[in-house]
């Protein structure tokens, strides 16, 4: 039998760090990464045959669980017709229509292959549409690894403690203004002094790359007002939250709390591809007319709208749009958070959790953090010990404090009960930490 350790040693000889995305290396938590051989429903099996209850779900896309029969059937049929054409297909039109049907702020979308590609394209579109250069992002929010956005990002960069990335010249990020998440004073001040130069404000409405941190309602409301007053565009990065926290994404959650709220541009990924490489950005027809071939803002991609990926995404969206889907998913996710919280309280361990739809997060502290600085000050050592304790008991959580977790429709009551039982065992060992 091939072991995880032998695979990791082999991988490190041919792949930097032995992984193709940094957080997978387990550097933040220590130990050997698990090399996954297969997955089905809410479970993954590693190279050694060990089964895990999966709470990362490919970092969000597997909202139906792994290998859902209807999705698998759609992918297999599409593959028989061809992997890629480099030409338009009816299915990409259908997927665009399905996204637009559920997201009122979007009148047109452009399909791409990754969240990074969608995020950088949205920024380019905002700059092209406004004729301005400056963009605002928030510390701890991650919008992909495009140069202009790798400034105090969360996720992998937070995991390794780097405030930015090498290889990004200072002049590339000179127009990127980085503010503190949920800080009203800072956003007021930057618009007061530079509002007429700002092309857009980009935000993760529920930041999933500094674990799970919500943008406060007054904060979102005020950004929307300032953008409108100054002619800037408000970009919601819903690569993680789109179709994951609600059928209409996080923007539908905020729209219920802020009358008339809509972002100007939306970025989607993960769930809309159902686990295959697919993402999108969209906005009003007027702004989208700035894109080539109609306008001067250039964007292109050989595999954009890939016929197999769109089949996967379309099948997924049709299934999750069924009545009651999110009520059930949200209840499962809340049960996980409530169970973890109860386990911590029983052990006398400081702990707090939060969730929305099928996305959740937790911290070993007494109150929910509101920004990146507070997240960075939470108990990393205790988290690492908890992670490994759960992993040893067959529960696969994100291998870094700075990542959100995900529940799928395939998780059963028994899976959740087993997770909570494991948490009680592990929390008891953390009391003295």
Q: Which of 54, 237, 264, 379 is catalytic?
A: 237
Residue 327 catalytic? no
Place of tokens 């769109």: 310
Q: Would you call 237 a catalytic residue per the annotation?
A: yes
Are the CB atoms for 53 and 39 separated by under 8 Å? no
Neighbours of 183 (CB within 10 A): 16
Residues 223-249, buried b or exposed e (16+ Cβ, 10 A)?
Answer: bbebbeebebbbbbbbbbbbbbbbbbb
The Cα–Cα gap between 173 and 189 comes to 20
Helix (H) or strand (E) holding 406: strand 405-406
Cα gap 86→370, rounded to integer Å? 44
Which residue of the set 142, 254, 372, 402 is catalytic? 142
> Distance between CA atoms of 42 and 56, rounded to whole angstroms?
10
Angle 328-243-340 (CA atoms, 0-180°, nearest 5)? 50
Peptide bond into 293 cis (omega under 30): yes
The set of residues, in sequence order, having a beta carbon less than 8 Å from that of 43 and lying 6+ positions away, is 51, 52, 53, 54, 66
Burial class (CB in 10 A: 0-12, 13-18, 19+), 302: exposed
Close Cβ partners of 263 (under 8 Å, ≥ 6 residues apart):
105, 224, 234, 235, 236, 251
Specify burial of residue 85 (Cβ count, 10 A radius: 0-12, 13-18, 19+): exposed
Report helix, strand or coil for 231.
coil
- Catalytic position from the list 270, 379, 396, 402: 270
270 assigned to active site: yes
Would you state the structure tokens that stand for residue 40, as one six-digit string? 């089905």
Residues with a known catalytic role? 142, 237, 270
């Amino acid at each position: 039998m091939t072991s995880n350790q032998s695979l990791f040693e082999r991988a490190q000889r041919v792949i930097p760090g032995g992984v193709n995305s940094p957080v997978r290396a387990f550097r933040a938590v220590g130990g050997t990464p698990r090399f996954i051989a297969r997955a089905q429903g809410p479970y993954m099996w590693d190279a050694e045959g060990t089964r895990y209850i999966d709470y990362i779900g490919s970092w969000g896309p597997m909202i139906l669980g792994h290998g859902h029969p209807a999705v698998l059937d759609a992918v297999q049929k599409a593959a028989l017709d061809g992997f890629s054409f480099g030409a338009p297909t009816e299915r990409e039109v259908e997927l665009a229509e399905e996204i637009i049907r559920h997201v009122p702020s979007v009148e047109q979308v452009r399909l791409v292959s990754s969240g990074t590609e969608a995020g950088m394209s949205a920024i380019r579109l905002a700059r092209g549409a406004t004729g301005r250069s400056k963009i605002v992002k928030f510390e701890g929010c991650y919008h992909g690894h495009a140069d202009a956005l790798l400034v105090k990002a969360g996720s992998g960069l937070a995991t390794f403690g780097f405030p930015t990335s090498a290889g990004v010249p200072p002049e590339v990020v000179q127009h990127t203004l980085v503010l503190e998440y949920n800080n009203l004073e800072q956003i007021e001040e930057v618009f007061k002094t530079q509002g007429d130069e700002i092309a857009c404000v980009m935000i993760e409405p529920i930041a999933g790359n500094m674990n799970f941190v919500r943008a406060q309602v007054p904060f979102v409301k005020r950004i929307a007002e300032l953008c409108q007053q100054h002619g800037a565009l408000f970009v919601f990065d819903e690569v993680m939250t789109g179709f994951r926290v609600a059928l209409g994404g996080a923007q539908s959650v905020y729209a219920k709390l802020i009358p008339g709220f809509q972002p100007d541009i939306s970025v989607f990924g993960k769930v809309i591809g159902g686990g295959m490489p697919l993402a999108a950005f969209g906005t009003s027809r007027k702004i989208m007319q700035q894109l080539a071939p109609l306008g001067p803002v250039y964007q292109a991609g050989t595999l954009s709208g890939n016929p197999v990926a769109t089949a996967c995404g379309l099948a997924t969206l049709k299934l999750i749009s069924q009545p009651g889907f999110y009520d059930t998913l949200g209840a499962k996710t809340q049960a996980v958070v409530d169970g973890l919280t109860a386990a911590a309280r029983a052990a006398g361990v400081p702990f707090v959790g939060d969730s929305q739809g099928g996305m959740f997060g937790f911290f070993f502290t007494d109150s929910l953090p509101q920004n990146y600085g507070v997240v960075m000050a939470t108990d990393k050592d205790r988290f690492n010990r908890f992670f490994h304790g759960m992993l040893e008991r067959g529960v696969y959580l994100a291998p870094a404090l700075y990542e959100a977790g995900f529940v799928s429709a395939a998780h059963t009551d028994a899976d959740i009960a087993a997770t909570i039982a494991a948490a009680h065992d592990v929390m008891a060992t953390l009391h003295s930490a």
